[in-house]
């Protein structure tokens, strides 16, 4: 099994190896600093990502990719493209693209995610390590 096969297999099982941990969204500073309306809207982003993961588990990758793109757009408008929430949405988008064999797009998306997460969370954060692992698997497939 190649590294890409591992990511796709994990995505279709709803495994943590294929998706960001939803708890990360709930504990990020952007959510805590947001007002109740903004927090509710950020909850919508999380809901969209969770629906996208469900679609991935059903092998409906195209629709999952579109939902991830919509979540990225909403996150960018709410908290900005430099936020960890946006970076985590990009990670899920990258996984959706890997599952479709869009490896070049996945590479670009995951690199952008990593850049944002390093800047917002620091290089030693577990979310950064997870994205780095996805890129490592992508490059070694």
Q: How confident is the model at residue 81 (pLDDT cuts 50, 70, 90)?
A: very high
Q: How confident is the model at residue 7 (pLDDT cuts 50, 70, 90)?
A: low
- When pLDDT is averaged across residues 54-73 and rounded to a whole number, the result is 96
> Is residue 11 scored above 70 in pLDDT?
no
Q: Where are the domains of the chain?
A: 3-139
What is the topology classification, in CATH, of domain 3-139? 1.25.40
Q: What is the pLDDT of residue 83?
A: 94
Q: What is the pLDDT of residue 107?
A: 98
**How far are the Cα atoms of 22, 28, 112, 120, 128 from residue 52, in angstroms, in the given order?**
12, 20, 20, 24, 21
Whole-model pTM: value is 0.78
Cβ contacts of residue 88 below 8 Å, gap of 6+?
20, 24, 25, 49, 113, 117, 127
What 8-state DSSP symbol labels residue 17? T
Cβ contacts of residue 117 below 8 Å, gap of 6+?
84, 87, 88, 91, 125, 127, 128, 131
Mean residue pLDDT of the chain comes to 83
- When pLDDT is averaged across residues 108-133 and rounded to a whole number, the result is 97
19 Rama sector, left if φ>0, alpha if ψ -120 to 50, beta otherwise: beta
């Amino acid at each position: 099994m190649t590294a890409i096969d591992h990511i796709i297999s994990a995505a279709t099982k709803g495994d943590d190896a294929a998706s960001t941990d939803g708890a990360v969204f709930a504990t990020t500073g952007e959510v805590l600093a947001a007002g109740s309306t903004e927090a509710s809207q950020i909850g919508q982003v999380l809901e969209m990502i969770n629906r996208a993961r469900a679609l991935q588990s059903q092998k409906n990758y195209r629709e999952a990719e579109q939902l991830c793109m919509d979540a990225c757009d909403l996150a960018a408008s709410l908290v900005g493209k430099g936020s960890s929430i946006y970076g985590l949405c990009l990670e899920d988008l990258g996984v959706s693209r890997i599952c479709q064999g869009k490896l070049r797009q996945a590479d670009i998306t995951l690199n952008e995610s990593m850049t944002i997460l390093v800047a917002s969370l620091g290089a030693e954060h577990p979310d950064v390590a997870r994205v780095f692992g996805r890129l490592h698997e992508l490059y070694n497939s």
